[in-house]
Structure 1
Amino acid sequence: MGSAQAFHIACNISMHHPLLRSSSKTKFSVSALKLNPDNDPLLLAATASASLRFQETLRPEPLFVDPYAGCFVPPNIPKDVIQELHPYCLATKFIDDNLLHTLSQSDGLKQLVLLTDGMDTRPYRLNWPASTIIFDISPERVFKTAAEKLKGVGAKIPKSCIFYHIPLESSDVPQNLQFKGYNGNRPSIWALQGFPMMTLANFEEILSIISSLAMKGSLFVGELPAWLFETGMEIKSNTKQCVDKLFMSNGFRVEMVNYERVAESFRKDFATGHCNNILFVAEQLRHSDDQMESWRREFQRVENDGDEEGFEEF
């Protein structure tokens, strides 16, 4: 089986497997299943994505180089070079560039939150600005498997940066994120690629959580499977309107990015007929919960000071 076909099958398994369960607006939970490397849909999908990054790295003129993806690829998977540019790789390069450019050009932006499949090598392979704090939210068992494999290939977080992993299975992901030091009163940039989602409701929950955590002006960039919107809406041809409405209802102004134009910007040929995903960049227009709480406290303090002054005058 070729890696592209394996990627397609693994993603279909992971997207439709009854694994993820959302229990509230602020919690994720995962059902207890007896899984092994051969039947774990999340591990299969993450490995298939790593295989695509590995094969892109082997191309004569690769969009990006992932020196660590090869350690995730099983020996029985063919390592032939794919001639056509895969949309996943195009999206990977687009997200990479957006993250690095935004972090390097924005004063005070030090918080990066990655919503991933557990085998994302961005924390290790990209040249992050000094003092960047990287949070990875991903399935724990996939992340642990990846961490073990990365030990032998020299993958290291830049010395001037900090890295934290937040298990997707945590009873309260936002609370754990804040416990590790995430601050909603400071700007942040969020990225989503490969993060396991079953339904449109799963993504709505993610948007709601990010909206409550991200300071006004923060950015959210990523890649979504188009079928999330097609299966959740009666009219499949109106995807853009559905995406706009969903993001705006959670406080984001969103722009859908054309894969073909991205390919043109890198001087690459790309067949749009093979793309079934949505590439996007969104800006947070609302204030985070932390911002609102800070202002509430300040307002209360001013009111209390005013009451005390009035009492003294009386």
Structure 2
Amino acid sequence: MGFAQAFPVTSINNLPSLVCTFKRKLCVSTAKLSRDNDPLLLSATAFASLRYRESLRPEPLFLDPYAGCFVRDNTPEDVIQDLHPYCLAAKFIDDKLLHTVSLIDGLKQLVFLTDGMDTRPYRLQWPTSTIIFDISPEIVFKFAAEKLKVSDVGAKIPKGCIFCHIPLESSDLEQAMQFKGYNGNRPSIWVLQGFPMMTLANFEEVLSMISSLAMKGSLFLGELPACLTETDPEIKSNIRQWVDKLFMSKGFRVEMIKYEGIAGSYGKDFASGHNNSILFVAEQLLHSDDQMESWRREFQRIENEGTPFHLLISLLKEFLQYQWMYINMVYLPKEQV
């Protein structure tokens, strides 16, 4: 399962041909491209350039000491005068991530859905016993890894942490995650920024995958590109209702975050302009597939042991409680919930 067609930062006319894999019908690029015409590399480099230039500001939102490795040598080192929404979202995601991770006891699982040049695994201070999964295009990740190695900038995963890259082009991302050690019976945090998506259907597939893998109560946050909302006039007319419905259809309760509010919290001014990207934080309301399987085995065990009927009913009620909450939130009118 995988697709590798980028959402470009700048206009790119010659996009590679696509084929669709069987599982989940996600698209994978089949063209052989160079850095000069590969939309994946162009998009990832453009985002890295934004982080690089933000780091040069007198009072930057964040410092990315590694982003400069990915930009071209002739990239002008001019300072960005206005806050870019991508950088504002990156700062919000950084802070939310670190705060949430600090609240998790024991093993921490982070899953980054990225463009292949995300430096969060290196530039943020993760606590011991953190496993970081990076799902990104193979061509971009290899390019970035080589640049970091050659530049010798000291990019290292914090001591006591584990880093696993999973190619976006993998035939089955869920299986690849589990093979690398992902555990759906433990909390996880999922991050989406810069991830290559061309269509709303692509994002729905990503949302379905996370719904299957993420333990109940897990967090999913990030930034949806504006292009996903611009294809349907009905979406643009009531964006909040559309976002609620989209996420709830996969079992997530979502909150949209205003860029202006985030800028204000950091003491910055922000002119939204034509920015239509969606910054969000969502909570998983359903049990993961691993949790469901654990419940199935537990029911089988207690049934084989001849557990009294009233105890079985008690366990069943506990198991179904979240399902009733989910059904009420999705299918009943608001005034009935």
Q: TM-score, normalised by structure 1?
A: 0.90
Q: 1:139 aligns with which of 137, 140, 144?
A: 137
Q: Return the alpha-carbon distance in structure 1 between the equivalents of residues 189 and 290 of structure 2.
A: 16
| Distance verdict in 2 for CA 1:118–1:19, change over 3 Å | farther
Point out where structure 1 has 5 or more consecutive residues left out of the alignment: 1-7, 308-314
Q: Return the alpha-carbon distance in structure 1 between the equivalents of residues 144 and 232 of structure 2.
A: 33
Point out where structure 2 has 5 or more consecutive residues left out of the alignment: 1-6, 308-337
Match of 2:176 in 1: 176
Q: Return the alpha-carbon distance in structure 1 between the equivalents of residues 17 and 115 of structure 2.
A: 14
Match of 2:220 in 1: 220
Partner SS for 2:33: coil
Partner SS for 2:75: coil
How many aligned residue pairs are there?
299
| Distance verdict in 2 for CA 1:56–1:12, change over 3 Å | same
Match of 2:329 in 1: none
Is 1:75 aligned to 2:73, yes or no? yes
Residue by residue, what CA displacement relative to the aligned partner does 1:275-295 show, whole Å, maximum 9, x if unpaired?
221000000000000000011
Q: Return the alpha-carbon distance in structure 2 between the equivalents of residues 250 and 13 of structure 1.
A: 32
Match of 1:154 in 2: 154
The aligned amino acid for 1:50 is: A
Q: 1:92 aligns with which of 76, 90, 98?
A: 90
Match of 1:263 in 2: 263
The aligned amino acid for 1:34 is: K
RMSD: 1.9
The aligned amino acid for 1:136 is: D
- Aligned-pair identity in percent equals 75
| Distance verdict in 2 for CA 1:19–1:108, change over 3 Å | farther
Match of 1:62 in 2: 60
Partner SS for 2:174: helix
Q: Return the alpha-carbon distance in structure 2 between the equivalents of residues 185 and 219 of structure 1.
A: 14
Is 1:121 aligned to 2:105, yes or no? no
Q: 1:298: how far off? A: 1.1
Q: Return the alpha-carbon distance in structure 1 between the equivalents of residues 95 and 22 of structure 2.
A: 33
Q: Return the alpha-carbon distance in structure 1 between the equivalents of residues 204 and 19 of structure 2.
A: 13
Residue by residue, what CA displacement relative to the aligned partner does 1:114-170 show, whole Å, maximum 9, x if unpaired?
000000000000001111100000000000000001112111101110000000000
CA contact (8 A) 2:19 2:30 kept: no
Instruction: Give 4+ residue runs of structure 1 displaced > 4 Å after superposition.
Output: 18-22, 24-29
Residue by residue, what CA displacement relative to the aligned partner does 1:254-275 show, whole Å, maximum 9, x if unpaired?
0000000000000001001142
Q: Return the alpha-carbon distance in structure 1 between the equivalents of residues 57 and 134 of structure 2.
A: 28
Partner SS for 1:223: strand
Q: 1:17: how far off? A: 3.7
The aligned amino acid for 2:258 is: N
Is 1:276 aligned to 2:263, yes or no? no
Q: Return the alpha-carbon distance in structure 2 between the equivalents of residues 205 and 233 of structure 1.
A: 22
Q: Return the alpha-carbon distance in structure 2 between the equivalents of residues 189 and 267 of structure 1.
A: 27
